Structure 1
Amino acid sequence: MLLADHEHRIKLRALRYRFPVASGDQYDDNWLVIGGEVTTPEGGWSFADPCLLTDEARQLSPWLRAVGGAMPTDAQSDLHFLEPVLSFSRTGSGLVRIRLSHEAAPPWRDRDEGLDEYVLEIKTTIADLHQAADEWDRCLAPFPPR
């Protein structure tokens, strides 16, 4: 899934289950390792972290479609997950805000001082949001809940 504008770019994809063999544990079996590539005016970096459960990952596509459509109440809500590595929100000015923290934060951030959160604000269109949602759905297809 790609979201980008003239200053920022983030590409997210599901790479694999954290644990390749299901053990019968509802959480351990369903952690997905998410890979990200980020480009900003300050620099670029990549990350890979088991930060989304399969059910959480499936919340992103409907959220992207909602913020790109005419659903004002749901479209304005933030999307947070159990692990605080990624979160998403939409501003009233057509910006999608993506917060990257902990393992997804830029490597130059000083984690000892609590400055590890990095916020991307990406100006996007309805078509871009729907395309990102479609890409995300295709990316998740090989990773059903176990």
Structure 2
Amino acid sequence: MRMRSAGSSVELTIEGYQFPELAPAADPSDHDATWLRVRGTVGVNGVEWSFVDPCLMTVEAQELLDWLREVAEGGSPEELWFTEPNLAFALDDSNPEGAVLRLTFSNESAPEETSETPAHIIILNMALRDVESAADEWASELRPYPVPCRQLPNGT
């Protein structure tokens, strides 16, 4: 998924499961089987860094897709944080044509030279059609990594 704005760019891709030997569909309650290794490449004002980290579970990656789709449709979703506090997405402002997204990169997802800083924030001013394109790209990334079905307490 690629997102760009004047002087800033973010690309996120899924590298695979953190533990590919675990079968995600075998036990829906085994969260270890659903961790995804995310590769990020971030550039802002001529400074670029990258990371690879298991920072999203499949259900969280789906939540990110839903969040992007809501923004693209002109909605105002709440800030999105995940179990691992490496990434966060927020909508700072929007209008009928565009949205201002605030992406936060922390811990293993932050640039090394700022690892002592709690977070690195990127602001992206994007047209809604570009947010929709990013959502479509993220959906393609997610296709091989389905969210496991959860059984109801009665076993169905």
Q: How far off is 1:27 after superposition?
A: 1.3
Instruction: Flag the structure with larger Rg.
Output: 2
Q: How far off is 1:110 after superposition?
A: 4.1
Distance in 2 between the 1:68 and 1:135 partners? 13
Distance in 1 between the 2:5 and 2:53 partners? 24
Partner of 2:114: 109
Partner of 1:37: 41
The answer (yes or no) to whether the contact 1:4–1:124 under 8 Å persists in 2 is yes
Q: How far off is 1:55 after superposition?
A: 0.4
Amino acid in the other structure paired with 1:9: S
Q: How far off is 1:91 after superposition?
A: 0.8
Structure 2 length-normalised TM = 0.84
Partner of 1:121: 123
| Structure with the higher fraction of residues in strand conformation | 2
Q: How far off is 1:19 after superposition?
A: 0.4
The answer (yes or no) to whether the contact 1:19–1:31 under 8 Å persists in 2 is yes
Distance in 1 between the 2:142 and 2:3 partners? 17
Amino acid in the other structure paired with 1:97: R
Q: How far does the alpha carbon of each residue in 1:76-134 deviate from its partner, in whole angstroms, 9 at most, with x for none?
A: 410110000000001125310000000010111142xxx13100000001100100000
Pick one of 11, 30, 34 that aligns with 1:26. Answer: 30
Alignment of 1:36-115 (within 5 A): 36-41=40-45, 43-71=47-75, 75-93=76-94, 94-111=99-116, 115=117
Query: Which region of structure 1 is more displaced relative to structure 2, 62-71 or 118-127?
Result: 62-71
Structure 1 length-normalised TM = 0.90
Report % sequence identity.
Answer: 33
Paired residues, number: 140
Q: How far off is 1:68 after superposition?
A: 2.0
Amino acid in the other structure paired with 1:31: W
Query: Which region of structure 1 is more displaced relative to structure 2, 118-127 or 59-68?
Result: 59-68
Amino acid in the other structure paired with 2:133: Q
Distance in 2 between the 1:130 and 1:145 partners? 21
Structure 2, gaps ≥5 residues long: 149-156
Q: How far does the alpha carbon of each residue in 1:30-81 deviate from its partner, in whole angstroms, 9 at most, with x for none?
A: 000000001111510100000000000011111111112233xxx2410110
